[in-house]
Structure 1
């Protein structure tokens, strides 16, 4: 698959996970400064990793949430909590993932992620 095909596949997957509105806003905000970076993440993250058929979008969503929570990437965590509407990860899935975060990445990281999840989902 060439770069153009990988980019198109990545855009399709990105839209299916994050939603058309989010992707349109991100594309509109792209400048010559970050254009190469945006192409890289679209082809690599979305066109290769998220487009692979070995894991479901629900499974990838849960893995992504665990990693973002463990690493303390709050802005991206909010985005991926919202994306669960498209990926099928349930609140129960998220709760279990955050319990794993508490054990393997630390209680403070999980505590922050639980706080953010409660805000995002109005819990």
Structure 2
């Protein structure tokens, strides 16, 4: 943000991209949990991850989703992995794209990492098929 608490262009762009990828409900929940302590960190994420990287035109949101899923799986970041699998409904990445990303993880990051990520993906994708889950995530 700017020195006068005016959001920077990068922040505005990042927040727009974040909402497009993760959905308004998710971002609204995250913003409601933000505190004085973590506000600078949240600003960093919005500007750097969403405003600088995710907003770049060189890759589509679908491509970024696929790469992000592979990275989160390889690094064992389970909550972020689940969040980005849910975001696929907004980025156009398919279940087949997720599967292919996780097959890559098996080869380049190890079978145990991929096996764990596949279990998470199956759970999240199953939840996304349930009518109540879709209502909760969109409302």
TM-score between the two structures when normalised by the length of structure 1: 0.96
> Which of these two proteins has the greater Rg computed from alpha carbons?
2
Of the three residues 62, 65, 70, the one matched with 1:58 is 62
1:95 match? 99
CA RMSD of aligned residues (A): 1.2
Distance 1:86 1:79 in 2: 12
Segments of structure 1 that go 5 or more residues without pairing to the other structure are none
Segments of structure 2 that go 5 or more residues without pairing to the other structure are 130-139
Distance 2:23 2:79 in 1: 16
**CA-to-aligned-CA distance 1:31-80 (integer Å, 9 cap, x gap):** 01000000001000000100000000000000000000000000000000
1:121 match? 125
Distance 1:105 1:34 in 2: 31
Where do 1:26-41 residues align within 5 Å? Answer: 26-41=30-45
The 3-state SS of whatever aligns with 1:89 is coil
Task: Detail structure 1 runs of 4+ shifted over 2 Å in the superposition.
Answer: none
Where do 1:1-123 residues align within 5 Å? Answer: 4-122=8-126
